C-alpha cells in the first residue's frame, strides 16, 4: 500500500521504474556513472583515468594508512571553524544591513565588491598575516562564504512583507518582539537559501586554501598525490572531497527543512 502511494506521488515513468527496483533515481544514476567509469577506465587504459575499482582500492589503502582520516579531520575542523565564523558575520551583518537602511547604504557596495572579486586573490595576504597553516585556510573559507550570506540575509530581511510587520506593530510589538517573532521567522526560508550557498562556497574555500597555501588537509594530500603522478590517489581524494561537499549540503538541508517545515512543499527547494 505504501509502495503504491509512493509511486503515485513520484509520478514519472522513469521514477516508477526506479522504485520498482527498490532504489531512488539518484542512486540509479550513481550506479550507472560507476559502471560507465569502470568500463571506460578498462577499455581506454589511460594513465589519467584508472578504472573505478583501482581508485576505490587506493582509497581503501589510504584509509588504512590513516593518511586520509588524519587529513579529513584537519579539513573538517577548518571547515567547521571557518563556516562558523562566516555564519556569525554573514547573518549578523546581513540582519543589520536588512534592518537599517543606513548600515546598508554604508556597506552595500563593499560587500558586493568582495562577493564579485575572486576570493583566492586574498590568499597571499592571508598567508603573510596568518602564516602557512590553519589560520590562512580558515580566513579563506570566511572570505569565500561570508559575503553571499550577508547579501541574501539582508535581502531576506528586507523582503519580509510590510503587512506582517504592520500587523505586529498594530498589536503593540516592541522592536525586539517584532524582529524575533515576525521578521526573523518570515525571513528564515530566504536566509537558509543563502546559508546553503554559503556552505557550498565554504567547501570550495577549504579545498582551494589547502591546495594553494597550507600544508595541511585533503587539498594538500591531493597536491602530493598529483606530484607523484598517482592518478588513483588523486581521484580517491576527489571522491572524499565530493563526499564532504555532499555531507555539508545535506547537513544544511536538514537544518533548513526543520526550520521551514511550515512552508508548502511546492515552494520549498528540495
Partner 1 sequence: MIKLIGVRKIFPGRNGKEDVEALHDINLAINENEFLTIIGPSGCGKTTLLRAIAGLVPIDAGEVLIDGTPVRGPGPERAMVFQNIALLPWDTVLANVAFGLELRGVPKDEREERAHKFIRLVGLEGWEQRMPGELSGGMQQRVGLARALAVEPKVLLMDEPFGSLDEQTRRLLQEELVRIWEATRTTVVFITHSMEEAVLLGDRIVVMSVRPGSVVEIVPVPLPRPRGGRIDTVGWSTEFLAITAHLWTRLRDMQPDLVRSKEALAGVSS
Residue 266 burial (C-beta neighbours within 10 Å; 0-12, 13-18, 19+)? exposed
Of the pair 57, 185, the CB lying nearest partner 1 is at 185
Min CB(255)–partner 1 separation in Å: 15
Min CB(99)–partner 1 separation in Å: 19
Q: Which three cell numbers stand for residue 229?
A: 603522478
Min CB(21)–partner 1 separation in Å: 35
Of the pair 76, 263, the CB lying nearest partner 1 is at 263
CA-closest candidate to residue 123, choices 209, 22, 191, 216:
209
Classify 158 as helix, strand or coil.
helix
**Nearby residues of 43 by Cβ (< 8 Å), 6 or more positions away:** none
Q: Crossing angle, helix 231-259 and helix 184-212, to 10 degrees?
A: 170
Helix and strand numbers (H, E) in the chain are 13, 0
Min CB(262)–partner 1 separation in Å: 4
Give the interface with partner 1 as residue ranges (CB under 8 A).
161, 163-164, 166-173, 177, 181-182, 185-186, 188, 260, 262-264
How far CA 256 is from CA of 193, 196, 197, in Å, comes to 8, 9, 12
Of the pair 163, 228, the CB lying nearest partner 1 is at 163
Of the pair 84, 185, the CB lying nearest partner 1 is at 185
Min CB(172)–partner 1 separation in Å: 5
Of the pair 167, 254, the CB lying nearest partner 1 is at 167
Amino acid at each position: 500500500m505504501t509502495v503504491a502511494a509512493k509511486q503515485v506521488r513520484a509520478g514519472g515513468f522513469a521514477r516508477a521504474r526506479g522504485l520498482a527496483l527498490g532504489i531512488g533515481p539518484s542512486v540509479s544514476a550513481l550506479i550507472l556513472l560507476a559502471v560507465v567509469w569502470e568500463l571506460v577506465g578498462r577499455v581506454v587504459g589511460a594513465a589519467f583515468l584508472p578504472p573505478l575499482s583501482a581508485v576505490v582500492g587506493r582509497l581503501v589503502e589510504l584509509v588504512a594508512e590513516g593518511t586520509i582520516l588524519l587529513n579529513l579531520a584537519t579539513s573538517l575542523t577548518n571547515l567547521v571553524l571557518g563556516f562558523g565564523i562566516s555564519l556569525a558575520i554573514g547573518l549578523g551583518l546581513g540582519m543589520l544591513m536588512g534592518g537599517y537602511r543606513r548600515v546598508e547604504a554604508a556597506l552595500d557596495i563593499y560587500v558586493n565588491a568582495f562577493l564579485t572579486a575572486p576570493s583566492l586573490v586574498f590568499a597571499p595576504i592571508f598567508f603573510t598575516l596568518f602564516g602557512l597553516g590553519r589560520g590562512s585556510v580558515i580566513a579563506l573559507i570566511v572570505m569565500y562564504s561570508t559575503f553571499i550570506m550577508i547579501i541574501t540575509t539582508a535581502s531576506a530581511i528586507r523582503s519580509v512583507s510590510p503587512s506582517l510587520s504592520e500587523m505586529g506593530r498594530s498589536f503593540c510589538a516592541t522592536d525586539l518582539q517584532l524582529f524575533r517573532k515576525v521578521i526573523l521567522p518570515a525571513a528564515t526560508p530566504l536566509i537558509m537559501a543563502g546559508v546553503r550557498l554559503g556552505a557550498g562556497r565554504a567547501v570550495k574555500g577549504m579545498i582551494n586554501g589547502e591546495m594553494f597555501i597550507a600544508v595541511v588537509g585533503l587539498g594538500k594530500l591531493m597536491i602530493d598525490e598529483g606530484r607523484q603522478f598517482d592518478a588513483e590517489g588523486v581521484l580517491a581524494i576527489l571522491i572524499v572531497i565530493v563526499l564532504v561537499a555532499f555531507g555539508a549540503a545535506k547537513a544544511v538541508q536538514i537544518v533548513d527543512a526543520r526550520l521551514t517545515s511550515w512552508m508548502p512543499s511546492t515552494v520549498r527547494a528540495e
